[in-house]
Amino acid sequence: MPQMNDAALSREFLLLRRLAGVAALWLAIGTHVPLAWAQALESPVSQAAAPVYRRPAALLEERVTDLLARMTMAEKLAQLHSGLLTTHRTASRIEALQRGAVNQTRLGIPILFFDAVDNGFRGHADRRVTAFPQAIALASSWDPGLVQEVYGIHARDLRARGGGLLLGPALDVSRDPRHGRVELSFGEDPYFVAEMGVAAVTGLQGPGVAGSLPPGKVLAAVQHLAGPGPSDEGAGPVPVSERELREVYLPPFEAVVKRTGIQAIAASRNEIDGVPSHASKWLLRDILRQEWQFGGAVLADQGGVNELQSLHHVATSVADASRLALEAGIDVDMSDGHAHRKLTNAVREGRVSSARIDEAVSRILRLKFRAGLFEQPFAEHLAAGTLHRRSSSRTALIAAQRSVILLKNDGALPLALAATGERQPKIAVFSKMAVMEGIRSRVRGRAEVAFMKDLRVARTADHIVVVIGEHGQTGRDQEQRLLDSLRTLGKPIVIVLVSGRPHAGVKIAEQANALVAAWGLGEQGGRAIADVLFGDINPGGKLPVTLPRSVGQSPLFYNVKPSAQRGYLFDTTEALYPFGWGLSYSAFELSPPRLSAASIGLDGSVEVSVDVRNSSQRAGDETIQLYIRDKLSSVTRPVKELKGFQRVSLAPGEQRSVTFLLNSHSLAMWDDSMRRVVEPGEFDIMTGPNSIQLQSAKLTVLGEVQK
Amino acid sequence: MTRKVRWGRRNAIKYLAGLSAYAGAALALPGLAAVAAGPTGEAVPYKDASLPLHLRVQDLLSRMTLEEKIAQLIALWATKAEIMADATSEFSDSKTSQAYPAGIGQITRPSDRRGAPVIAEKRWRTSQETIRFINDIQRWAATRTRLGIPVLFHEEALHGYMAPDATMFPAAIAMSGSFDLDLVREVNSVIGREMRAHGSHLALSPVVDIARDPRWGRIEETFGEDPYLCSEMGVAAVTGLQGNGRTLGPGKVFATLKHMTGHGQPQSGQNVGPAPIGVRELRENFFPPFREVVARTGISSVMPSYNEIDGVASHANKWLLGGVLRGEWKFDGVVVSDYNAVEQLHTLHHVVADFPAAAIKAIESGVDGELPDGTAFRNLADLVRGGRISAGLIDTACARMLSLKFRAGLFENPYADIDAARALTGNAEARALALRAAQRSICLLKNDGTLPLAAGKHRRVAVIGPNAAVARLGGYSSEPKHAVSLLEGVQARLAGKAEVVHVQGEVITRSEDRSADEVLLADPAKNRQLILEAVALAKTADVILLAIGDTEQTSREGYAANHLGDRTSLDLLGEQNALLDALHALAKPLVVLAINGRPPSYPNAVAKANALLECWYAGQEGGTAMAGVLFGDVNPGAKLPVSVARDAGQIPLYYNAKAAPGIGPRAPASRNPSPLFPFGFGLSYTRFEISAPRLSAHTIRTTGSVVVEVDVRNTGPRTGDEVVQLYVHDPVASVARPLKQLKGFARVTLAPGEQRKVSLTLDARALALWNAEMKEVVEPGLFHIMVGPNSRDLKQATLEVI
């Protein structure tokens, strides 16, 4: 065993003992502990008499049934509270723990180690892994293929560290930038979040919808069912109604359940109309399992079980919270099992059925079998330490480049560099960190780059680049003062927003000659931004959220119902920049949409084609977006809904035809009896480069209204 | 017909006896006698006031043609043009008989001249014109229609009968802040009698929306954010307007509960915006005022809201109007549409293809009458004939409208009398009540000891500000006989005692025309000039009274895309903060009077004023009341019926929220979740001590009740009022519960040193919740019973429910 200090050793020992079900066993039936412990440790599984659950060739369900039948209640409970552990440990300790679980417990059930995707693991990380753009930045690429690739690397990195499950991606639909951590979401649109979610899960787990994980893949656990956005502290109450939930917040989860092999879903910590998700049978059983036929495991969010007692006060004690959560459908408590460890008494007193325990344990075992842990419980390639740094970094760079959004440009960008022999332009840069580095290493003697410590530097500069948001909210006043004084110089100002949240203000947008939104771009962010500023990369990102002009417009999102946005006195309902917005150094011409059929049946589908032409002298990317509006419906429908998008790269002068398929799923809605139907009638089919500059065609859906 | 057989001799005698009882009226109003009998001369049951209501309705209905029935379901507003003589605003018998041979159900706002030729500066009919117009129409209906069905006239009456000369009381949000139910009842009683004296019988009031967004311009029309307070205020207002019982007594009018529901939390603060509110949230917060009023009064009428709830517009919401309102609550009155809301099913919500389909959808969902013009419902006859809607639905709606007319006594006497109206309207008693209402609605939010001012102590008193010299009455008001501004109130109060000087110092909007669609803020440069003037004047004064806030233009009902009323910023508009800063810099005593219909989210004013009075739109006697409060004749005792946010970023902010990580006790200090002023907050010139609550029993059953006693003592030097507030909290429940909920209050007046025991009865019903199965239950367990002077400073006892 690797070296450990005493305290760590005893902690690990306790954990192992918990995992063996021994401590619980002692409490439950009063067995003499040393004896049981010794037996557990001294009976490593004999390979010769390999039981069914140890046979890789056996069917998954046979293995689960076999193993479950061998488990004591204490061992089962141990799986519920300690069957999954975080990878927030050193690699050697992860390995030691796994070795203990595999070799030193009676049944040798391996631990499933998990981690959360949080800014490319940067929070707790191992320096060897790659830091990718945050979710909101990746979303800005409007490139599901890229998202899939990045999550593929997440999977490989996690697998290499002994992890088998990744908590993520977050499928929360974020409609309010005040809420939680928007940067960890894919934005405000249900369809868009669903597409990105499917891509991310596919990247993590590999393609396909069933079976075991291929090498280098991990299980995904999408989160948080269901709430308004990721948050550090857990979300506030969400008193939303059922149709709103079904139309806005649930679709990404449903899409992932139906289109990928997702095996785990984490519940949200918020309550919905008085019922916390961790205690919601309706959400976790009626919808998730019955309507969507989800067969995997439902995980608690960190603290989500405890909070049934401590925050929502729907449970009298932690033990009660644990019982409630289990009954509602939470299978595993992820907080190192603090709450689910209290289940023992509830089981003894018959307040939790053993059938429900078996059900939950089976789901955890299934995860472990699917992850291949019984065959390969240890980190892949750990010894070799091959994390493919170079290729990962390249992907991180491409991801960062494709995520940058050009919000405004009056021609100030791209910045020109001197050709040989020319006078070097002077660029004053206000940035302490990565962007400065990126610019410095990019110009290489073709421009003079000066750090702008005061206005004097700016006075003599040809170009001014100001990075906003490196210091979070605290630095904003200082940054604004700097901008105000720079503005008096009358020189073109390029502003780069690097805050993780959509925090552009009206004033900044007005003061900028060019405005670049770069979110949190990960380790290659500085270089990617420099590439965009100097035109090596033609920006093609688009906003996955609406940027409001002021907090007083909140919530501001594009897919509103027709009765929203009557208007304000002395202000506008217009966004600072709308959903889907993003410019390019190129110019594109988009044709109106052409439909393959002017009318279709209720179950029919239609192809929508758009010609897009790069009418400029530069190669560049455009993302063609497809929106629909159901013009007359039994319940109100949004004024537009995204139903398709494609990012295409076009050489100067190149024209291409882009085709979308709209089917009955795209046109469906939840009618006045809460059935999902397509209602006959007219639909506006709208295409364009963002959510406001749209051209329209009319589609008629023929059929009878379902009674 | 079987009915004829049942119509026996006894009834006929009764009928004739009843007829002679109002023979006097008939003589005074020629024509009535002619219709005392049916068209063929025989006595008709529906005209017999002694018969049970349902028989009269049944009888009348059986005599009506389809067109006559549909006529009852519509109203005339712009279409009043069709019943007025050309180029006048006078009623025309011949035109009306031509246009409405089947009769007229309802007339919208008879006191306004809508439909008549536009005359600048003349929007209203005079009292006399209104009464003549109404009597002419009633006389026509009685004599020139086949069945003589009287017409129902409705008017706005939110804080006064909205017609010239009528008394204008403080805005609803102000009245709610009085926490004085008797006062609200009395005020509504006067509103009702002034309106009734003018011949109208249906008031479109009160508004019992739960207001949760101060950006929303209609917040002034509400009783605030709390379901219990809105319920109690709603019951008081309805009782005041209608009286007790189901029929109208003299001087009473029917009330209309508005707007069911979700209107008060419109998405993004924009009027009529969607309300995607969950069922439990609806039941626990938005329904209670409607439900309580239906249960406890004879409420005649309910108006659905413009907005949609979870995709379903309220005028198309069968569950809301049928299942809940009529089914669960047993409401048996009429559901009248909000203005143009039936049309909006087509034009705004796009859930129907045209107006005829809108009419079908609305009537099928439970809407009985379409206001203001019946644009969609006018298609109903064709729709019935075309088989697109069943005649039975028309009968049901018509029966309800007729029932209302019978209950109103309209068949017995539909007429108004100008002399009676003159004597009553805006009389001394009404004025005194308006003054008392204003006095009891003014809320002291900050006081460093500057208030009360001693009259005469400050020799030169500067009254400054955009709202100083104008009596702001708020939306839904007309032109009362007189109105007192702050300046006039102070001048009168200080006459002979001190010099009162005034400059405006600021202009908020370029125009004061509240009906104007476009609202333009005043020129900032001009305002800066006015501020200099104000500073120059204030320098010479000993105390500054600064009246700031909103105008009827800057926060109002945004009833159309070209007539907006909602805002993104809650702070003072224009250069008002600059004016305040400039005056503050003079280091003279600065008393700020907020005159507005929106909660005072004015952090700068709060920080800089020595004292801050929230006066709201205080009604026609507001200036006198403000002066009374400033100079200590009146000790302010109102409380805030809303939480006051620091800025728009805090919205939604309401005290009865559920626990969230951001607002619980563990919230990080960096995120200030606390309001600028909490719900229920308000100061006094005296001080009070409130004891911890004592319970008459520590344990009650789920069907029981407990008396909560608390001692209140005036420990200060002045007589004053305290509002003792009772809140409950369910610490463990099957569904998440609010941190606290108001469940009782009492406003008491105490002399210096006086102590009084306040007893509040708490029914276990007040502890009920809607459980996971959406059943209303009282769950056994412990409850925190909290008492105090506002929603923040509370003392607690524990009650066990078994």
Find the CATH number of the domain harbouring A218: 3.20.20.300
Structure token digits, residue B184: 């609200």
The answer to whether residues A298 and A153 belong to one domain is yes
Is the pLDDT reported for residue A579 higher than 70? yes
- The DSSP call for residue A286 is I
What span, in angstroms and rounded, lies between the C-alpha atoms of B137 and A462? 80
The answer to whether residues A354 and A411 belong to one domain is no
User: Residue B136: what residue type?
Assistant: D
User: Do B272 and A281 make contact, defined as CB atoms within 8 angstroms?
Assistant: no
Is the CB of residue B309 less than 8 Å away from at least one CB of chain A? yes
Per-residue pLDDT averaged across A399-404, rounded?
96
Contact B766, B737 (CB under 8 A): no
Q: Which long-range contacts (CB under 8 A, 24 or more apart) does B517-526 make?
A: B517/B560, B517/B562, B517/B563, B518/B562, B519/A569, B519/A570, B519/B553, B519/B554, B519/B564, B521/A570, B521/B573, B521/B574, B522/B574, B524/B574, B524/B575
- The sign of the torsion formed by the CA atoms of B630, B632, B634, B638 equals positive
User: Do A554 and B554 make contact, defined as CB atoms within 8 angstroms?
Assistant: no
CB-CB neighbors (< 8 A) of B519 in chain A: 569-570
Phi first, then psi, for residue A531 (nearest 5°) are -60, -40
The answer to whether residues A353 and A468 belong to one domain is no
User: Residue B214: what residue type?
Assistant: P
Is the pLDDT reported for residue A68 higher than 90? yes
Residue count (chain A): 707
Is the CB of residue B360 less than 8 Å away from at least one CB of chain A? no
Total structural domains within chain A = 3
Is the CB of residue A275 less than 8 Å away from at least one CB of chain B? yes
Structure token digits, residue A443: 């110009």
Burial-class residue A473 by CB neighbours within 10 Å (0-12, 13-18, 19+): exposed
Choose among B272, B659, B664: nearest Cβ to A563: B272
Structure token digits, residue A62: 């046979």
User: Do B661 and A236 make contact, defined as CB atoms within 8 angstroms?
Assistant: yes
User: Do B269 and A552 make contact, defined as CB atoms within 8 angstroms?
Assistant: yes
What span, in angstroms and rounded, lies between the C-alpha atoms of B181 and A430? 62
How many percent of chain B have pLDDT more than 70?
A: 93
Residue A495 is part of a domain; what is its CATH number?
3.40.50.1700
The answer to whether residues A602 and A534 belong to one domain is no
What span, in angstroms and rounded, lies between the C-alpha atoms of A44 and A649? 58
Per-residue pLDDT averaged across B287-295, rounded?
98
- Confidence band (pLDDT; 50, 70, 90) for A499? confident
Per-residue pLDDT averaged across A532-547, rounded?
97
Question: In this complex, how many residue pairs, one in chain A and one in chain B, have their CB atoms less than 8 Å apart?
Answer: 202
What span, in angstroms and rounded, lies between the C-alpha atoms of A492 and B150? 74
Contact B177, B641 (CB under 8 A): yes
* Cα torsion through B37, B40, B43, B44, rounded to 10: -90
The residue out of A370, A394, A421 marking a domain boundary is A370
Is the CB of residue A312 less than 8 Å away from at least one CB of chain B? yes
- Confidence band (pLDDT; 50, 70, 90) for A388? low
The answer to whether residues A466 and A536 belong to one domain is yes
Among candidate residues B211, B366, B217, B210, the one with its CA nearest the CA of residue B288: B210
Interface probe, candidates B568, B601, B728, B732, chain A, greatest A C-beta count within 10 A: B568
Element (H, E) at A428: strand A426-430
The residue out of A370, A388, A413 marking a domain boundary is A370
How much is the ipTM here? Answer: 0.92
Would residue A421 count as lying in a domain? Answer: yes
- Confidence band (pLDDT; 50, 70, 90) for B686? very high
The answer to whether residues A513 and A615 belong to one domain is no
Beta bridge partners, B548, equal B594
CB-CB neighbors (< 8 A) of B338 in chain A: none
Where in the sequence is the domain holding A490, given as residue range(s)? 404-551
**A111-115, A332-336, B38-42, B535-539, range with greatest mean pLDDT:** B535-539
- Confidence band (pLDDT; 50, 70, 90) for B26? very low
**pTM, whole model, 2 decimals?**
0.93
User: Residue A83: what residue type?
Assistant: G
Would residue A340 count as lying in a domain? Answer: yes
Element (H, E) at A525: helix A525-533
If you average pLDDT over every residue of chain B, what do you get?
93
Choose among A178, A231, A566: nearest Cβ to B561: A566
Contact A122, A131 (CB under 8 A): yes
Beta bridge partners, A659, equal A609
For chain B, the first-to-last Cα distance in angstroms comes to: 59
- The DSSP call for residue A283 is I
Interface probe, candidates A188, A563, A632, A675, chain B, greatest B C-beta count within 10 A: A563
Which pLDDT tens digit goes with each residue over B532-569? 999 999 999 999 999 999 999 999 999 999 999 999 99
What span, in angstroms and rounded, lies between the C-alpha atoms of A543 and A504? 12
The residue out of A370, A388, A423 marking a domain boundary is A370
3-state secondary structure of A464: strand
Per-residue pLDDT averaged across A537-541, rounded?
98
The answer to whether residues A308 and A432 belong to one domain is no
3-state secondary structure of B311: coil
What span, in angstroms and rounded, lies between the C-alpha atoms of A143 and B47? 76
Cα B563 to its chain centre, rounded Å, is 21
3-state secondary structure of B380: helix
The answer to whether residues A284 and A412 belong to one domain is no
User: Do B311 and A571 make contact, defined as CB atoms within 8 angstroms?
Assistant: no
Q: Which long-range contacts (CB under 8 A, 24 or more apart) does B79-82 make?
A: B79/B115, B79/B373, B79/B374, B80/B107, B80/B108, B80/B114, B80/B115, B80/B116, B81/B115, B81/B116, B82/B115
Per-residue pLDDT averaged across B409-436, rounded?
97
Element (H, E) at B132: helix B127-144
What span, in angstroms and rounded, lies between the C-alpha atoms of B711 and B688? 10
Please calculate the CA angle B761-B723-B625 and round it to the nearest 5 degrees.
140
3-state secondary structure B480-509: ECCCCCHHHHHHHHHCCCCEEEEECCCCCE
Would residue A573 count as lying in a domain? Answer: no
Q: How many helical (H) and strand (E) elements, i.e. helices and strands, does chain B have?
A: 25, 26
Among candidate residues A272, A231, A233, A269, the one with its CA nearest the CA of residue A249: A272
Would residue A225 count as lying in a domain? Answer: yes
User: Residue B716: what residue type?
Assistant: G
What span, in angstroms and rounded, lies between the C-alpha atoms of B155 and B619? 19
Phi first, then psi, for residue B538 (nearest 5°) are -65, -30
Contact B626, B486 (CB under 8 A): yes
What span, in angstroms and rounded, lies between the C-alpha atoms of A296 and A84? 15
Would residue A565 count as lying in a domain? Answer: no
Among candidate residues B301, B300, B310, the one with its CA nearest the CA of residue B265: B310
Judge if the upstream peptide bond of residue B584 is cis by omega within 30 degrees of 0: no
Is the pLDDT reported for residue A180 higher than 70? no
Q: What pLDDT does residue B203 have?
A: 98
**A113-122, A285-294, A312-321, B650-659, range with greatest mean pLDDT:** A285-294
The answer to whether residues A175 and A289 belong to one domain is yes
Burial-class residue A450 by CB neighbours within 10 Å (0-12, 13-18, 19+): middle
Helix axes A190-205, A251-259, angle to 10 degrees: 30
Interface probe, candidates A176, A241, A307, chain B, greatest B C-beta count within 10 A: A241
The answer to whether residues A320 and A214 belong to one domain is yes
Is the pLDDT reported for residue A7 higher than 90? no
Would residue A136 count as lying in a domain? Answer: yes
Would residue A63 count as lying in a domain? Answer: no
Q: What pLDDT does residue A27 have?
A: 30
Per-residue pLDDT averaged across B708-722, rounded?
97
The answer to whether residues A507 and A617 belong to one domain is no
Contact B594, B600 (CB under 8 A): yes
Element (H, E) at A486: helix A476-487
- Confidence band (pLDDT; 50, 70, 90) for A475? confident
Q: Which residue has the higher pLDDT, B350 or A423?
A: B350
Would residue A381 count as lying in a domain? Answer: no
Characterize the bridge pairing of strands A426-430 and A463-468. parallel
What span, in angstroms and rounded, lies between the C-alpha atoms of B638 and B612? 13
What span, in angstroms and rounded, lies between the C-alpha atoms of A75 and A73? 5
Beta bridge partners, A683, equal A630, A699
Q: What pLDDT does residue B421 have?
A: 97
The answer to whether residues A365 and A408 belong to one domain is no
Beta bridge partners, A627, equal A642, A686
Choose among A243, A551, A637: nearest Cβ to B648: A551
What span, in angstroms and rounded, lies between the C-alpha atoms of B615 and B634? 13
Is the CB of residue B768 less than 8 Å away from at least one CB of chain A? no
User: Residue A103: what residue type?
Assistant: N
To the nearest whole Å, the CA of A104 is away from the closest chain B CA by 41
Across A347-356, A381-390, B97-106, least confident range = A381-390
What span, in angstroms and rounded, lies between the C-alpha atoms of A80 and A339? 10
User: Do A556 and B268 make contact, defined as CB atoms within 8 angstroms?
Assistant: yes
Among candidate residues B326, B288, B290, B285, the one with its CA nearest the CA of residue B305: B290
Residue A675 is part of a domain; what is its CATH number?
2.60.40.10
Beta bridge partners, B747, equal B723
Please calculate the CA angle B441-B443-B449 and round it to the nearest 5 degrees.
140
Is the pLDDT reported for residue A65 higher than 80? yes
Q: Please, which residues 203-262 of chain A have a Cβ atom closer than 8 Å to chain B?
A: 231, 233-237, 239-244, 247
Among candidate residues B653, B193, B216, the one with its CA nearest the CA of residue B424: B193
